[in-house]
Amino acid sequence: MNFVEINNISKSYGTHKALLETSFSVKKGELFGVIGPDGAGKTTLFRILTTLLLADSGSANMAGFDILKDYKKIRQIVGYMPGKFSLYQDLTIEENLAFFATIFGTTIKENYELIKDIYIQIEPFKDRPAGKLSGGMKQKLALSCALIHKPEILILDEPTTGVDAVSRTEFWDLLRRFKEMGITIIVSTPYMDEASLCDRVALMQEGKIMQIDTPANIVKNYKPELLAIKSNNMHDLLVKLREYNLNSQVYLFGQTIHFSSNQTINQSDLNNYLKNNGHTNVEISTSIPTIEDCFLWLMKQHN
Amino acid sequence: MKKFIGFVKKEYYHIIRDPRTLFVLIAMPIAQILLFGYVITNEIKNASIGILDHSKDEITKQISSKILSSGYFKLDASINSEQEIHEAFRKGKIKEVIVFEPHFAEKLKKEGTAKIQIIADASDPNMANLLTNYTEAIIRNYSIAITTQNTQISLITPEVRMLYNPELKGAYMFVPGIIAMLLMLISALMTSISITREKELGTMEVLLASPLNPFTVITGKVTPYLLLSFINACLILLTGYFVFNVPVNGSIILLLAECLLFIFMALSLGILISTATKTQQAAMLISLVVLMLPTILLSGFIFPVENMPLPLQYLCKIMPPKYFINIVRTIMLKGGNLATLWSDTLILFGMSIFFLMVSMRKYKIRLE
Q: Which residue of A has its CA nearest to B214?
A: A72
Chain A CB contacts of B206 below 8 Å: 80, 82, 86-87, 100, 145
Is the distance from CB of B340 to CB of B331 less than 8 angstroms?
A: no
Cα torsion A150, A152, A157, A163: sign: positive
Local confidence band at B150 (pLDDT 50, 70, 90 cut-offs): low
Neighbours of B325 (CB within 10 A): 25
pLDDT higher than threshold 70 for residue A66: yes
- Give the tens place of pLDDT for each residue, B287-330: 888 888 888 888 888 788 888 888 888 888 888 999 999 999 89
Local confidence band at B153 (pLDDT 50, 70, 90 cut-offs): low
The confidence score (pLDDT) of residue A35 equals: 93
- Give the tens place of pLDDT for each residue, B38-60: 776 666 778 888 888 888 888 88
d(CA B100, CA B117): 7
The confidence score (pLDDT) of residue B108 equals: 82
**What value does the mean pLDDT take over residues B241-265?**
90
The confidence score (pLDDT) of residue B148 equals: 66
The confidence score (pLDDT) of residue A136 equals: 86
d(CA A194, CA B281): 40
Q: Which residue of B has its CA nearest to A105?
A: B3
Q: Do A53 and B367 touch (CB under 8 A)?
A: yes
Local confidence band at A232 (pLDDT 50, 70, 90 cut-offs): confident
- Give the tens place of pLDDT for each residue, A39-52: 899 999 999 999 99
Q: Judge whether B16 is closer than 8 Å to chain A, CB to CB.
A: no
Q: Do B10 and A52 touch (CB under 8 A)?
A: no
Phi and psi torsions of B243, nearest 5°: -90, -40
The confidence score (pLDDT) of residue A60 equals: 94
Percent of chain B whose pLDDT exceeds 70: 93
d(CA B4, CA A35): 38
Spatial CA neighbour of B193 closest among B263, B269, B274: B274
Is the distance from CB of B226 to CB of B264 less than 8 angstroms?
A: yes
**SS3 for chain B, per residue?**
CHHHHHHHHHHHHHHHCCHHHHHHHHHHHHHHHHHHHHCCCCCCCCEEEEEEECCCCHHHHHHHHHHHCCCCEEEEEECCCHHHHHHHHHHCCCCEEEEECCCHHHHHHHHCCCCEEEEECCCCHHHHHHHHHHHHHHHHHHHHHHHHHHCCCCCCCCCCCCCCCCCCCHHHHHHHHHHHHHHHHHHHHHHHHHHHHHHHHCHHHHHHCCCCCHHHHHHHHHHHHHHHHHHHHHHHHHHHHHHHCCCCCCCHHHHHHHHHHHHHHHHHHHHHHHHHCCCHHHHHHHHHHHHHHHHHHCCCCCCCHHHCCHHHHHHHHCCHHHHHHHHHHHHHHHCCCHHHHHHHHHHHHHHHHHHHHHHHHHCCCCCC
Chain B CB contacts of A52 below 8 Å: 205, 208-209, 366-367
d(CA A112, CA A123): 12
Q: Looking at the DSSP assignment, which residues form a beta bridge with residue A57? A: A10
* Residue A27 Cα to chain centre, angstroms: 17
Local confidence band at A107 (pLDDT 50, 70, 90 cut-offs): very high
At the fourth CATH level, the homologous superfamily of domain A2-220 is P-loop containing nucleotide triphosphate hydrolases (3.40.50.300)
Chain A CB contacts of B218 below 8 Å: none
Q: How far is CA B12 from CA A97, A142, B114, B261, in A?
A: 16, 21, 72, 21
d(CA B15, CA B9): 10
Q: Do B211 and A78 touch (CB under 8 A)?
A: no
The confidence score (pLDDT) of residue B137 equals: 85
Average per-residue pLDDT for chain B: 85
Q: Judge whether B20 is closer than 8 Å to chain A, CB to CB.
A: no
pLDDT higher than threshold 80 for residue B156: no
The confidence score (pLDDT) of residue B95 equals: 86
Q: How far is CA B25 from CA A64, B22, B182, B228, in A?
A: 49, 5, 9, 8
Which site among A77, A102, A147 would you substitute to test the B interface, given the most B Cβ atoms closer than 10 Å to its Cβ?
A: A102
Which of A54, A88, A104 faces B10 most closely, judged by CB atoms?
A88
The confidence score (pLDDT) of residue A236 equals: 86
The confidence score (pLDDT) of residue B300 equals: 82
Domain covering A227-287: architecture? 2-Layer Sandwich (3.30)
Domain boundaries, chain A: 2-220, 227-287
Specify which of A90-94, B170-174, B299-303 reaches the highest per-range mean pLDDT: A90-94
The confidence score (pLDDT) of residue B41 equals: 61
The confidence score (pLDDT) of residue A212 equals: 93
pLDDT higher than threshold 60 for residue B273: yes
The confidence score (pLDDT) of residue B151 equals: 58
The confidence score (pLDDT) of residue B101 equals: 87
Residues 172-211 of B with CB under 8 A from A: 201-203, 205-211
Which of A47, A91, A100 faces B367 most closely, judged by CB atoms?
A47
Neighbours of B164 (CB within 10 A): 13
Domain boundaries, chain B: 2-40+169-362, 47-150
Phi and psi torsions of A55, nearest 5°: -75, 150
Q: Are strands B116-120 and B96-100 parallel, antiparallel or unpaired?
A: antiparallel
The confidence score (pLDDT) of residue B167 equals: 67
pLDDT higher than threshold 90 for residue A12: yes
- Give the tens place of pLDDT for each residue, B66-75: 888 888 888 8
Residue A67, burial from CB neighbour count under 10 angstroms (0-12, 13-18, 19+): buried
Q: Do B10 and A99 touch (CB under 8 A)?
A: yes
Q: Do B6 and A99 touch (CB under 8 A)?
A: yes
Is the distance from CB of A228 to CB of A203 less than 8 angstroms?
A: no
Nearest Cα of chain B lies from the Cα of A241 at a distance, in angstroms, of 47
The confidence score (pLDDT) of residue A272 equals: 87
The confidence score (pLDDT) of residue A286 equals: 87
Contacts of B310 (CB under 8 A, 6+ apart): none
Q: Do B209 and A52 touch (CB under 8 A)?
A: yes
The confidence score (pLDDT) of residue B203 equals: 92
Q: How far is CA A282 from CA A63, A249, A267, A272, B365, in A?
A: 55, 19, 11, 10, 61
The confidence score (pLDDT) of residue A7 equals: 93
The confidence score (pLDDT) of residue B42 equals: 60
The confidence score (pLDDT) of residue B157 equals: 61
Local confidence band at A97 (pLDDT 50, 70, 90 cut-offs): very high
Phi and psi torsions of A94, nearest 5°: -65, -40
Fold match flag (A2-220 vs A227-287): no
Q: Do A52 and B14 touch (CB under 8 A)?
A: no
Taking one residue from A and the other from B, the number of pairs with CB-CB distance under 8 angstroms is 77
Residue A59, burial from CB neighbour count under 10 angstroms (0-12, 13-18, 19+): middle
Is the distance from CB of B270 to CB of B190 less than 8 angstroms?
A: yes
pLDDT higher than threshold 80 for residue B158: no
Residues from A in contact with B at Cβ < 8 Å: 47, 50-54, 71-72, 75-76, 78, 80, 82, 84-91, 95, 98-100, 102-105, 129, 145
**What value does the mean pLDDT take over residues B207-231?**
90
Chain B CB contacts of A50 below 8 Å: 209
Q: Do A52 and B366 touch (CB under 8 A)?
A: yes
- B214-244 helix and B338-362 helix, angle to the nearest 10 degrees: 140
At the fourth CATH level, the homologous superfamily of domain B47-150 is abc type-2 transporter like domain (3.40.1710.10)
Q: Are strands A16-27 and A153-156 parallel, antiparallel or unpaired?
A: unpaired
Percent of chain A whose pLDDT exceeds 90: 56
Q: Are strands A200-205 and A31-35 parallel, antiparallel or unpaired?
A: parallel
Count of residues making up chain A? 303
